[in-house]
Amino acid sequence: MANDVCEVFSINAEKVDAVRQRINEISGVEQLFKALADATRLKITYALMLEKELCVCDVATIIGCTVATASHHLRLLRDMGIAKHRKEGKLVFYSLKDDHVEQLVALALVHAKEGEENDGK
């Protein structure tokens, strides 16, 4: 028998009721994680953290893809409320919409590095 499963079924009704009342507060957050779950979009987000603003051509060069591919990913990030853009002449510049995504990615980066350090012990 697996030791990671309860051997008997027993719930804490007070905890269950308290969490059930609030569980739907998380609705919609999965879209943020869905956007950042793609390695290319996560790299773009990180690049925008490092440089604050980049044109589509810069992003394409940084991540090693076509301008069309970079534009597609940037548009998705914009549509999901993660990035914003501005046009200057014939160039389009992107930046992160606010500090929340930057904080989330920075925290995830710290967490990942801690995991690497713990694996090496």
Summarize pLDDT for 47-100 with one digit per residue, the tens: 999 999 999 999 999 999 999 999 999 999 999 999 999 999 999 999 999 999
Which distant-in-sequence residues (6+ apart) come within 8 Å of 99 by Cβ? none
Alpha carbon distances (Å) from 22 to 26, 29, 104:
8, 14, 22
- Residues 31-59 have a mean pLDDT of 95
Q: What is the pTM (predicted TM-score) of this model?
A: 0.82
pLDDT for 3: 83
Is 70 exceeded by the pLDDT of residue 9? yes
Q: Please, what are the domains in the chain?
A: 31-119 (1.10.10.10)
Cα 54 to Cα 47: distance, rounded to the nearest angstrom: 8
**pLDDT class of 8 with cuts at 50, 70, 90:** confident
